[in-house]
Copies of this chain bind each other. A is one copy, B any other.
């Protein structure tokens, strides 16, 4: 049994945030304070936690931070008006609409309304296209960007490596596949998903295996090639009687089973999660720099 390297997302995120702190100071000297506005609709407790954490990180870095909370009943027009105001606000460089939105609001319409130059989540079609076209002026969605940064900082070479991404979402799977196959990464990339035949065999090919499906502990030891690098994007809350809350977080990878087989693995929590917020801050600084 091997002792794998634990890819400590918390530590790497902290160093990314240190970078952000320096960059923010430099921008402030030029009279630019990076500004991030987060819109939270309704009372979803998980969303509230995410938004709170983003706001705290902004405060910590010295960003101008705007938190807009609106009740579940807000109309789409009202929400679009808020977005339009933020688009026009020169103190705001990044705009993020916390997902999920209530059902009566069309999320895509709202995302399209955000000025692509302020779309720090990277969900606007303009930024989706830039990612595919390998245009570096775009914004890469924060979770895939965080995975790439974690690989890079950990010295894991993607060149010619076989990467398998499980999951084909717009938020993680597809953009991550595009990043891995791009000319500055050069991985051979397989996108697998719920309809793939013999998923374990497909995963066993991977030098770099990335799970982004949202199924607790789905990836088992025999899905993993010995010595592979495993990146777990899953964040699943499951019952755990031993915890005060009655629940705990777990990833898409059965960490206990898988970790002895691989050369490096991200834990959940403390792996990809912290990277996501750090990359959001990076994106906001990039927006501030580009908007001037």
A144-170 near B? 1/0 per residue, CB < 8 Å: 000000000000000111100000101
Count of chain copies? 2
The reply to whether B170 and A132 form a contact with Cβ atoms under 8 Å apart is yes
Q: Which of A39-47, A97-105, A182-190, A223-231 contacts B (4 or more CB under 8 A)?
A: A182-190
- For A237-255 the 0/1 string (1 means CB < 8 A from B) is 0000000000000000000
Q: Does A178 contact B (CB under 8 A)?
A: yes
Report if A133 contacts B (CB, 8 A).
Answer: yes
Assuming the contacts A188-B192, A188-B193, asked whether A181 and B160 have C-beta atoms less than 8 A apart, the reply is no
Are B170 and A193 interface neighbours, CB within 8 A? no
A191 to chain B, nearest CB (A): 5
A90 at the binding interface (Cβ < 8 Å): no
Interfacial chain B residues near A191, Cβ < 8 Å: 177, 181, 188-190
Chain B CB within 10 Å, residue with most, of A133, A170, A190: A190
Q: Which residues of B contact A193 (CB under 8 A)?
A: 181, 186, 188
Please determine whether B181 and A168 come into contact, CB atoms closer than 8 angstroms.
Answer: yes
A197 and B188 in contact, given A126-B129, A132-B174 (Cβ under 8 angstroms) = yes
Is residue A2 contacting chain B, with contact meaning CB distance below 8 A? no
Q: Report B-chain residues with C-beta under 8 Å of the C-beta of A129.
A: 125-126, 128-129, 132
Digit string of A182-216 for contact with B (CB within 8 Å is 1, else 0)? 00001011111101110000100000000000000
The 4 closest A-B pairs by CB, nearest first: A125-B129, A128-B129, A186-B195, A188-B196
Q: List 5 A-B contacts (CB under 8 A).
A: A125-B129, A125-B133, A162-B202, A186-B195, A188-B192
